[in-house]
Amino acid sequence: MAVDGIAAPRRAAPRLGIGRLWYRVKGSPLTLIGAAIGLLVLIVIIAAPVLAPYPPDKISLSARLAAPSLQHFFGTDEVGRDLFSRVLFGARASCGIAFAIVIISTVIGSIVGCLSGVIGGVVDTAIMRLMDVFLALPALILAMALAAALGPSLFNAMLAVAVVRVPAYVRLARGQTLSLRNRTYVKASRSFGASPGYLLRWHILPNALSPIIVQATLDLGGTILTAAALSFIGLGAQPPTSEWGSMVSSGRNYFLDQWWYVTFPGLAILVSAMGFNLLGDGLRDMLDPRLGGR
Amino acid sequence: MTAADGDSLLEISDLSLEFRTYRGPIKALNGVSLNVRAGEIVGVVGESGCGKSVTMMAATRLLPEGSARITGGGIRLFGSDPMKLSERDLQHVRGRLVSTIFQEPMNALNPTRRIGEQVIEVIRRHQRLDKSAAAGKAASLLRDMLISEPERIMQSYPFELSGGMRQRVLIAMAFSCEPKLIIADEPTTALDVTVQALILSLIKQKARSTGTAVVFISHDMAVVSQLCDRLYVLYAGRVAEAGTTASVLAAPAHPYTRALIRCLPGLAPPKQLLEQIPGTLPDLLDPPAGCLFRARCREANERCVAVPPLAAIEPARRAACWRRIEETQAA
Amino acid sequence: MTEPPLLSVEDVEVRYRVTSGWFGGADVHAVNGVSFSVAEGETIGIVGESGCGKSTLGQAILGLTSVSAGSIKLRGTERDHSRRTHMQIIFQDPQSSLDPRLPVWRLITEPLHIRGGYARKELIDRATELAVSVGLRPEHVDRYPHEFSGGQRQRIAIARALAVEPALLVLDEPTSALDVSVQAQIVNLLLGLQAERKLSYVLISHDVSLVRHVADRVAVMYLGQIVEEGPALDVLDAPKHPYTRTLLDAVPSFERPLASIAARAGELPSNRTLPTGCFYRERCPWATTGCELPQLLVPADGLRAVRCHLVTGVNETAIPRLASPSASLLPNGAGT
């Protein structure tokens, strides 16, 4: 066979990898800020015991409701616990939970959605109508109802929020599946006799992943808010666990005189939620196929 | 803004242009020279990535200005440099003097509005006509495109029409403001051959009867040979050869043109291996020095390490190939 | 008893329902009674414009689309399994026919991977062997599709189709998405593989000159029917059916000036509701009485069959007979 048809291939282009991603991130300062915040949160979650100057639940009645100072960067609460340390440890509860929730709902949602798209027919219709019902209920109310029914605890709140988030992923994954199912390479694979399970494992799931990852990143911000809201109304983390939502909740009684009590945990919620939203938006813009090879 | 020197509508001289990408600049054009005179039909032929569309989009300033950068040479469109025009003047040029027909007619029409409204709007944007006069003009333009019931078509939405019908509507719109120059960017590539033949003959008829110049961009040598008076063959962002269609086809001067014609299956005996051009296009991120076709050329020699100029080899015939230039000098 | 042909397509019809709008859908009559057969080592070309049903027919042959009526037999049997192992398809667009996330060795050996039971090493070795046989280099098998040009991707797709050593390849517009200079490389590769491996091809294309170059026999399709069939050079150099004539006139050529095509010839009818009588009647410049009757595909001369009573003198109601003098009713001047 004639091999002279093939000259040296074009200069090997990197896949959609670190290099290309970095090129695009450089052009978008907001994404960089988002990524920095995300990284910071991760570091805090892992290294909270090292970074925190005091144990989070060390009571010091002599230093109750102290204003921010060099000893206590964020001040102290009504039993003299160091708010800075509590905010750092709170990241574990608040953001850790958000990660867990998003991972649970992403995995369940993607699998159900892809299956629904691949199987089609009655199963697909049944699943999608059930999801429509879930989506018709306000998310926070549904989460509250579930959390109240299961009993107030961090774990139950997490479960409740995860369930509420699932339908969005089911729809996203199903939409991806339906469009991927008509790709020529999926058709080709079918012509070789591939089963639906094979198509799902090798062609549909891997290619449906990037929009799902973007959605998950965008959701992290919202999930942090929902988890905090549940704790705020007492359905989530229970004292003495340090969690941003419940800290804001107990601090609201002191808001007028001891502003730092609510402000710092509140800021932590705001900054981390915003950070993940910025990162998600940036990722979406970068992974958007319509932007082509820029 | 009148046509300056003589009757040259568009003059591109030694234009170089690059696109910024994350792997570095892609040198899309490496010295394209091309001119279009009033009333002629000029073909611009080449394979994908040869810069044929980029050249014409640069001429009408339709390239994204953030990523495309002109690095050399110049453009004169109706006597002025489009890069220096104000937004207002540019709109005047694009609307009244030049119009463009694109490959995919669906994207060029607004899917939510009736055909009639869209054609009338284009007419009224550039001509002072009341609604009914514009509607009459729209109908007559569509009739020129051999659309038998223009009123019915004007009441339709784009999705109700076939690809060929949509392209005929777009050609009617392109001619509606009586431009001096029409740029047709592969207008028949997405269409079937019978529809293509119809559309080519419509473009030709209308251009001849109105005296409009047409730049016809295509990858298909045969189509260009049937339609165009003159043609430019582009390779890797450079003009390989230019001349009247008949003379280029009768005796292609550049080895690339010759290979491009010979590798068509229609000209070889059935079942025989076709003549193929070995290799692939050069990498425009890092184009090799000298003649860009050198690596794939059977006639390449040591002279080809220098860039061959686009030199006259016969009256009204130019080629960028050292061998032809030497032969001409020897003669 | 004679050996059954490698592939025989008998009276195949493909109809499917499109659900458009709120009030039910419409039936698309994509293929309306197509029969032909392919012998070992033979190439049959299927020519026609978009919407003529040629691609649907190709997918039906592979079993990717279900057939509403008729049968598709491989060496006389109708079993799905034998179709999958003995026939493969090459799609038009090599960009979308390769999964962007898999390396080339994995793409090429996909049919074996699906079958299962091969070790990774075996697959890579086999992929390398196949890659070399289609003109790629051994080291190419570790790369990903986006690193290749269109022509190289089509080579990968061809190597993949060869992985199960099929007897027949359906080539669905194999060169349409490629540049002219690369088309020649792929055509040469296909011709070489055919000679080497005694492959049969069903070549589906709108490109008449490609089909003329590669095919032994050709079938011209219009609105889901074959309107003319016969040896490629006979049909494409001296077409008889009015549609074949119009089609060939419209093909751009260096030797002819621009054809003047009647506007009505430039519009394809809808395949939602089939016309009565001759399908081509409304666009046909020579339509006359008798065209309102359904037309039969009957032998016109020698090895050729035509679906037009003006050529064959046969209408549905009439008794079939062989070649007729009424062919001279057609004006001259068509053909190349």
What value does the mean pLDDT take over residues A253-267? 88
CA distance linking residue A181 with residue C189, whole number of Å: 30
Chain C interface includes B169 (CB < 8 A): no
Query: Contact, C55 vs A184, CB < 8 A?
Result: no
Candidate from B22, B67, B285 with C-beta closest to A23: B22
Class of domain C7-218: alpha beta
| Closest chain C C-alpha to B51 CA, distance in angstroms | 14
SS (H, E, C) chain C: CCCCCCEEEEEEEEEEEECCCCCCCEEEEEEEEEEEEECCCCEEEEECCCCCCHHHHHHHHHCCCCCCEEEEEECCECCHHHHHHHEEEECCCCCCCCCCCCCHHHHHCHHHHHHCCCCHHHHHHHHHHHHHHCCCCHHHHHCCHHHCCHHHHHHHHHHHHHCCCCCEEEEECCCCCCCHHHHHHHHHHHHHHHHHHCCEEEEEECCHHHHHHHCCEEEEEECCEEEEEEEHHHHHHCCCCHHHHHHHHHCCCCCCCCCCCCHHHHCCCCCCCCCCCCCCCCCCCCCCCCCCCCECCEEEECCEEECCHHHHCCECCCCCCCCCHHHHHCCCCCCC
pLDDT of A131 strictly over 50: yes
pLDDT given for residue A17 in this prediction: 60
pLDDT of A165 strictly over 80: yes
* Strands of C200-205's sheet in order across: C87-90, C168-172, C200-205, C43-47, C217-222, C225-231, C304-306, C298-301
pLDDT given for residue A8 in this prediction: 35
What value does the mean pLDDT take over residues A99-109? 91
Length, in residues, of chain A: 294
pLDDT given for residue C227 in this prediction: 94
Element (H, E) at B273: none
In chain C, % of residues over pLDDT 70 = 87
Q: Do B278 and A294 touch (CB under 8 A)?
A: no
CA distances to A167, C33, C72, C202, C225 from C69, in Å: 41, 8, 10, 20, 14
Chain C interface includes B247 (CB < 8 A): no
pLDDT of C206 strictly over 50: yes
Candidate from A6, A189, A195 with C-beta closest to C135: A6
Query: Contact, C214 vs C201, CB < 8 A?
Result: yes
Mutation to test the B interface, candidates C93, C146, C179, C256, most B Cβ within 10 Å: C179
| Confidence at C314, pLDDT banded by 50, 70, 90 | confident
Q: Do A10 and C147 touch (CB under 8 A)?
A: yes
What is the average pLDDT value for chain B, to the nearest integer? 88
- Other beta carbons within 10 angstroms of residue C93's beta carbon come to 17
Chain B interface includes A23 (CB < 8 A): yes
Category of B6 on φ-ψ map: left (φ > 0), alpha (ψ -120 to 50) or beta: left
pLDDT given for residue B228 in this prediction: 94
Q: Which of residues 290-329 of B touch A (CB under 8 A)?
A: 295-296
CA distance linking residue C30 with residue B303, whole number of Å: 58
**Span of A130-139, A235-244, A282-291, C26-35 with lowest mean pLDDT:** A282-291
Q: Do A185 and C152 touch (CB under 8 A)?
A: no
Express each pLDDT in B139-198 by its tens digit.
999 988 888 888 888 999 988 888 888 888 999 999 988 899 999 999 988 888 888 888
Express each pLDDT in B264-295 by its tens digit.
887 788 888 888 888 778 888 888 889 999 98
pLDDT given for residue A20 in this prediction: 67
CA distance linking residue A128 with residue C137, whole number of Å: 48
pLDDT given for residue B234 in this prediction: 95
Dihedral (Cα; A69, A71, A73, A79), 10-degree rounding: -100
- Other beta carbons within 10 angstroms of residue C329's beta carbon come to 13
Beta strands in A50-188 (DSSP E): none
What value does the mean pLDDT take over residues A246-275? 89
- Other beta carbons within 10 angstroms of residue B64's beta carbon come to 10
Query: Contact, C38 vs C5, CB < 8 A?
Result: yes
pLDDT given for residue A14 in this prediction: 41
pLDDT of C216 strictly over 80: yes
CA distance linking residue C335 with residue A117, whole number of Å: 50
Chain A residues inside the 8 Å CB shell of C173: none
List all residues 6 or more positions away from B250 whose beta carbon is below 8 Å from its beta carbon.
none
pLDDT of C263 strictly over 90: no
**Number of CB pairs, chain A paired with chain C, less than 8 A apart:** 93
pLDDT given for residue C40 in this prediction: 92
What value does the mean pLDDT take over residues B67-87? 89
pLDDT of B81 strictly over 80: yes
- Other beta carbons within 10 angstroms of residue C286's beta carbon come to 14
Chain A residues inside the 8 Å CB shell of C108: none
Q: Do A191 and C89 touch (CB under 8 A)?
A: yes
| Confidence at C19, pLDDT banded by 50, 70, 90 | low
Chain C residues inside the 8 Å CB shell of B252: none
| Confidence at C196, pLDDT banded by 50, 70, 90 | very high
pLDDT given for residue C307 in this prediction: 92
Q: Do B227 and C258 touch (CB under 8 A)?
A: yes
Chain C residues inside the 8 Å CB shell of B259: 181
Those chains having 3 or more beta-carbon pairs within 8 angstroms of chain C are: A, B
**C47 or B24: which leads in pLDDT:** C47
Q: What is the DSSP letter of A85?
A: H
Candidate from C184, C233, C258 with C-beta closest to B204: C258
In chain C, % of residues over pLDDT 90 = 46
| Confidence at C269, pLDDT banded by 50, 70, 90 | low
Number of alpha carbons in the 13 Å side-chain half-sphere of residue B236: 20
Chain B interface includes C247 (CB < 8 A): yes
pLDDT given for residue A79 in this prediction: 84
Beta strands in B50-168 (DSSP E): 68-77, 98-101
What value does the mean pLDDT take over residues A65-90? 86
| Confidence at C14, pLDDT banded by 50, 70, 90 | very high
pLDDT given for residue A69 in this prediction: 85
CA distance linking residue B187 with residue B182, whole number of Å: 12
CA distances to A235, A254, B228, B293, C142 from B260, in Å: 74, 82, 17, 12, 32
What is the average pLDDT value for chain C, to the nearest integer? 84
Express each pLDDT in C237-250 by its tens digit.
999 999 999 889 88
pLDDT given for residue C181 in this prediction: 81
What value does the mean pLDDT take over residues A174-178? 91
Q: CA nearest A22 in B: which residue?
A: B22
pLDDT given for residue C1 in this prediction: 52
Domains defined along chain A, listed by start:
27-61+72-291 (1.10.3720.10)
CA distance linking residue B204 with residue B145, whole number of Å: 11
- Other beta carbons within 10 angstroms of residue B185's beta carbon come to 20
pLDDT of B133 strictly over 50: yes
**Span of A185-194, B99-108, B292-301 with lowest mean pLDDT:** B99-108
Chain C residues inside the 8 Å CB shell of A191: 62-64, 84, 88-89
Chain B interface includes A292 (CB < 8 A): no
Q: What is the DSSP letter of B13?
A: E
pLDDT given for residue C285 in this prediction: 83
Residue ranges of chain C that CATH labels 3.40.50.300? 7-218
In chain B, % of residues over pLDDT 90 = 45
Candidate from B193, B198, B270 with C-beta closest to C247: B193
